[in-house]
Amino acid sequence: MSLWTDKRVVVTGGAGFLGSRVVTRLKERGCQEVIVPRSRQYDLREKDAIRRLYQDAKPNLVIHLAAVVGGIGANQASPGSFFYDNLVMGVQLMEQARLLGVEKFVAIGTVCSYPKWTPVPFREEDLWNGYPEETNAPYGLAKKMLLVQSQAYREQYGFHSIFLIPVNLYGPGDHFDLQTSHVIPAIIRKCTEAVARREKEVVLWGDGTPTREFLYVDDCAEGILLAAEKYDKSDPVNLGSGVEISVRELANLLAKLTGFQGEFRWDTTKPNGQPRRRLEVSKAKREFGFDAMVGLREGLQRTIEWYLRQGA
């Protein structure tokens, strides 16, 4: 009998990019009752709405994936709302879960919480050794407060909560709006549109030197459920692939995969973001057996094919 068979699970953000994968895998594992709150029914920034959600759903377990997210531009444009919305959602969801006796709370953090100058690879122990990169600090700090809350609640109340830190995600179903998208969907869209219009130049932000690590979205969903099943400590755990690539190398790879044969022009008036980003991922393997399965090239190919099928 599956661990999930008799569980009622609330997945906030369960209709989203990552959440929809988590919901699918929960059902594949035998979970009969997965509740996905929608914003039109429950505004998760409001305490009364959260209380009503929990009273309606009566969950045994909560997986909190809902977040206000975006790329560098979106973070720069709306730092106040990124901070407030993410902070108040997480704090109230965990507090009401504690008050109502929810068995376990799975909180999802962000790699943006790490200090700007974290030694590479980023180790969980380095999480507090400095201030995050300025363009996404409000978002990163709001999410990191869930770790503080998780540890404090375990200490005072014996509340079972865990805190996971995924690296940048990508895959089919990602957001391709250039105002809010992250680097992979943004470059895919720019390259495919340039190919369609027979343009010879694509403009990208920064100078291409920063490095990033990426995790295929389905791998992340699997990591979250493995942690929900097997991990019960409040120490944070990284979820990543452990593979680092520069934005310039990534752009060149995506140019090959999309058939773009022109030139990239790097707009150095725009920010680079964090200089380097790669996680130390051995703790997830050790604690709950997680390994990323989809390589970057294969994952990018799947993402491009999905995007083109949408009639891009």
Calculate the alpha carbon distances from 71 to 139, 168, 169, 310 in Å.
Answer: 11, 10, 12, 22
Tell whether residue 4 is among the known ligand binding residues. Answer: no
Q: Determine the pLDDT at residue 86.
A: 95
Q: In CATH, what class is 8-172+213-243+275-294?
A: alpha beta
Instruction: Tell me the average pLDDT of the chain.
Output: 94
* Predicted TM-score (pTM) of this structure: 0.93
Which pLDDT belongs to residue 72? Answer: 66
Q: d(Cα 214, Cα 148) in Å, to the nearest integer?
A: 26
Find, among 218, 241, 240, 222, the residue nearest to 230 by Cα: 222
Element (H, E) at 27: helix 19-28
Known binding residue 7? Answer is: no
Q: Which of 42, 139, 153, 216 is catalytic?
A: 139
* DSSP per-residue string spanning 132-195: BPGGGHHHHHHHHHHHHHHHHHHHHH---EEEEEE-EEE-TT----TTT--HHHHHHHHHHHHH
Write down the pLDDT at residue 71. 66
Count how many Cα atoms sit within 13 Å of the Cα of residue 52 in the half-sphere of its side chain.
12
Residue 78's pLDDT is what? Answer: 74
Ligand-binding annotation for 190, yes or no, is yes
Task: Round to whole Å and give the CA distance between 301 and 92.
Answer: 39
The answer to whether 205 is a known ligand-binding residue is yes
Rounded distance, CA 48 to CA 96, Å? 10
pLDDT at 283: 98
Whether 139 is catalytic: yes
Q: Are 71 and 183 in contact (CB under 8 A)?
A: yes
Query: In this structure, what token pair is assigned to residue 227?
Result: 């942690």
pLDDT of 228:
98
DSSP string, 243-276: -EEEHHHHHHHHHHHHT--SEEEEETTS---SS-
d(CA 93, CA 71): 25
Q: Is 167 annotated as a binding residue?
A: yes
59 annotated ligand-binding residue: no
What local confidence, expressed as pLDDT, does residue 74 receive?
66
The string of pLDDT tens digits covering residues 150-166 is 999 999 999 999 999 99
pLDDT score, position 312 = 54
> Would the annotation count 166 as a binding residue?
yes
- Report pLDDT for 202: 96
What averages of pLDDT result for each successive group of 10 residues across the chain (312 residues)?
89 96 97 95 96 97 88 73 94 98 97 93 97 91 97 98 97 88 92 96 94 97 98 97 96 97 95 88 98 97 96 64
User: What are the structural domain ranges in the chain?
Assistant: 8-172+213-243+275-294
